[in-house]
Amino acid sequence: MNRNLSLCALVIVTLLAGCWSGDKPPMEARPKDQAATAQTGIVQHRQEEAEKLEPMPAAPPPPVAVAPASLSQPEALTGSRARMAAEAKLDYAAASVPAASPPQVGQQVGGSLDELRAPSEPTDREQYAHQEVNPVKRAAEQPVSTFSIDVDTGSYANVRRFLNTGRLPPRDAVRVEELINYFDYDYPTPDSRQPPFRVSTELAPTPWNPKTLLLAVGIKGYELPKTQLPPANLVFLIDVSGSMDSPDKIGLLKPALKLLVRQLRAEDKVAIAVYAGAAGMVLEPTPGSQKAKIEAALDRLSAGGSTNGGAGIQLAYSLARDGFVKGGVNRVILATDGDFNVGTVNFEALKNLVETQRKSGVALTTLGFGTGNYNDRLMEQLADAGNGNYAYIDTLREANKVLVEQMSATLLTIARDVKIQIEFNPAVVEEYRLIGYENRMLRREDFSNDAVDAGDIGAGHAVTALYEIALKGGGGALTEPLRYGKTAEDAAPRGDEIAFLRLRYKQPDSDTSQLLEWPIRRDQVVQDWRATSERFRFAAAVAGFGQVLRGGRYTGNFGYDQVLALAREARGADSHGYRGEFLTLVGLARSMDSGKGGEQGQAIR
């Protein structure tokens, strides 16, 4: 009885409210309008009661709107209210079934928000080895710096890829020495093949810090035309796993390797091995004169499956050993994105595998392809472990540079285990730091230990190393001397020498190193860096750019504008246009870097 009275009271209130919202007083409302309004009110009340009983509906039903009564179109309004009441019942029924409600943005799925990825989260999983920038060292405390040379250029091409796609590269993707060594500096060549290279040095004020000096050490191997190369025994080891199925991977890999095939002679031979979930040979050793057969084998390749890179490496080295040419070029060329995911996948295990295989006299060149899952860390370290070189192929033009223009340097090793050691004179030098080569540093005792592996130099290769040096009294030092440390008076006088350069190398067929030495004297200093050679200034510009990309810890206010100005003046002949492209890349980086690069630098006094 009470429930019925309450319901009647609710109907009357709803009716009065609907009538007052119209154009006429409540007593003039028509019976059909009253019935429709009452029906709508009942539906609305039942829906509110149902919502109170429903614990947590996945999506609350929309509120039922009650239209005001109108005298002009009573039939239409009555039908509308009835339709709205029916829709409200359907909405409530749907809301009562949780499974029918789609998850909303931000709603937990599976009990955790961690499964939802924010739109800004990077989708790539590229891998780069982290290296801290070489620190400043005091000559009185650590006068000797030792490192292995590096002829790799992969970092530069990879940085270019990032910039050309509108992104600044990750700092760990920038290895400054590989940016510097990407370019040819026209160093003077050796007069003979013994020794197999010539060393040049240049010393001048540092462009980004006039209180310090920049020492450039350049090494140039003897040139050998590709027509005079010894017979080559090559094995193309190609990744055909599913991750390689894209135009910038296997789509670029095929025409890239064809460029090399077209340079081969009848006395050269090529075998092709592939790997995905398993490894196999798709082309037996074939003379270089049968170019159509080799290219047809490349054309038949397609990508799919997982990536057993370890098995592929073992097969390729086995093929290279079977076809070994004494006194010739014996090399495996690995083309992949480095995304090994089955078989031997541990980084150190793969390195150990390659280090073991190199004892057979077969070298390893790694060619990196692709984006998104690219493993730069593995590609660079495998080449180092395999007595070879590493390049990143982002365009067919880069493939032509590495495999055609620099074919002799890529394939023929003229000096093995090349190490550089510089001893700074603490009576003259306050501090020094090596720019780049962070992952090539060696212990002092490693220099004379022939069992310690180091980088190799190919025919025509050029290597550049830069040191920033603070002389005593020059005001460029960044650290304070030790209170109880060794003083300059205890050092050997030799005031005319800034440093002493030592270099060790092995002949390709020898396990015993040879030593070369040169003093670096104060009278070599050029007082104004603007009076230095084009090669010195352009190398300094590239070094400055690389340091700015890595955060500019030691470059002060030397930023992109200063890099551009320095590089433009030192561009030189630039027959292949690589230096002009560098200027474009610096301009792109300047446009993308809101921090202006060098403007946030520090550590200059």
How do residues 188-206 score in pLDDT, each as one tens digit?
999 899 999 999 999 999 9
Q: What are phi and psi of 414, to 5 degrees?
A: -110, -15
Angle at 351 between CA 345 and CA 353, to 5 degrees: 85
Residue 216 has pLDDT above 50, yes or no: yes
Output the six-digit token pair for 490.
Answer: 């205890």
The answer, yes or no, to whether residue 573 has pLDDT greater than 50, is yes
More confident residue, 68 or 173: 173
Interval 446-468: pLDDT, tens? 999 999 999 999 999 999 999 99
Q: In terms of pLDDT, which residue wins out, 46 or 138?
A: 138
What's the pLDDT tens digit per position in 517-542?
A: 999 999 999 999 999 999 999 999 99
Question: What average pLDDT does the segment 462-489 reach?
Answer: 88
pLDDT value, residue 14: 55
Q: Please tell me the predicted confidence (pLDDT) of residue 54.
A: 46
Q: pLDDT tier at 18 (50, 70, 90 boundaries)? A: low
Give the residue with greater pLDDT, 122 vs 233: 233
Residue 431 has pLDDT above 50, yes or no: yes
CA–CA gap between residue 506 and residue 430 (Å, rounded): 33
**What value, to the nearest 5°, has the Cα angle with vertex 232 and ends 337 and 327?**
125
Reply yes or no: is the peptide bond before residue 195 cis, omega within 30 of 0: yes
Q: Does 599 have pLDDT greater than 80? A: no
Amino acid at 524: Q
Q: Does residue 490 carry a pLDDT above 60?
A: no
pLDDT mean across residues, the chain: 83
Higher-scoring residue by pLDDT: 68, 577: 577
Q: Lowest mean pLDDT: which of 101-115, 295-309, 389-403, 543-557? A: 101-115
Check: CB of residue 157 under 8 Å from CB of residue 394: yes
Nearest CA to 128 out of 366, 376, 369 is that of 376
pLDDT band at 349 (very low <50, low <70, confident <90, very high): confident
**Could you tell me whether strands 329-336 and 363-368 are parallel, antiparallel, or unpaired per DSSP bridges?**
parallel
**Mean pLDDT (whole number) for 91-115:** 41
Residue type, 555: T
Give pLDDT, residue 82: 43
Q: What's the full length of the chain, in residues? A: 605
Q: Which residues pair with 424 in a beta bridge?
A: 499
Lowest mean pLDDT of 67-76, 79-88, 555-564, name the range. Answer: 67-76
What's the pLDDT at 491? 53
**Residue 215 to residue 223: CA distance in whole angstroms:** 25
Q: How far apart are CA 64 and CA 74, in angstroms?
A: 19
Which domains does the chain show, CATH number per domain? Answer: 2-98 (no CATH), 137-224+413-480+487-600 (2.60.40.1230), 226-411 (3.40.50.410)
